[in-house]
Amino acid sequence: MKKLFIFALMLMLSMSDFALGKVNPDQAPDQNEEAEIGNFDFIYGKQANLNEAFEQTEMLMSEAFSHLGARYRSGGKGPSAFDCSGFTSYVFKQQADMFIGASSRDQYARNTPISRKELQSGDLVFFTSPRSGRGVGHVGIVVDVDPISDTFTFIHASTNNGVVINSSTDQGYARRYVGARRVKRC
């Protein structure tokens, strides 16, 4: 067993770039290569903007989480009781001083459409409700996204349980998903 391990290790080393003469240990790394590796702006944007966006989202989520357990009340705009759109509009107003729309339909129409693949924490997600037919009838705020399974968790004001966190895979929401919107922050 020991001989097999040594043989495999030697085979791997002999096939490495160093053994094949493709890497010169005395050669300094190419400056362009370092710049290219360190430049992720094309993916993530400028670092300052990234940090600011992260902080804004963190504060938004903190505000939303502070209302976990608040009761549901139709037409409720907070802070002790909410309906779904009252909750989302209250959170954005308190944290970012933004008006995102009064009803779930208004929020859906007013904010920037994004695909499910583009979802990020802080985005709005919309669902049908028993009274809305195929149209928008419910809204929540994305908490977390799993891009591998194409699922997300969201915080919202549920008619039965008040402000709670649910998953897009939960039975009551999986088939009712309508779309998502991003709120443009100033």
Give yes or no for a contact between 60 and 68, defined as CB atoms under 8 angstroms apart: no
For 163, list phi and psi in degrees, rounded to 5.
-75, 115
Residue 176 DSSP symbol: T
Query: How far is residue 15's CA from residue 172's CA, in Å, rounded to a whole number?
Result: 55
Catalytic residue numbers read 84, 138, 150
In which residue are the tokens 């009838």 written? 137
79 prior amide bond cis, ω within 30: yes
Counting beta carbons within 10 angstroms of the beta carbon of residue 104, is it exposed (0 to 12), middle (13 to 18) or buried (19 or more)? buried
Percent of the chain that is helix, strand, coil (3-state, to 5): 40, 20, 40
In which residue are the tokens 């007013």 written? 110
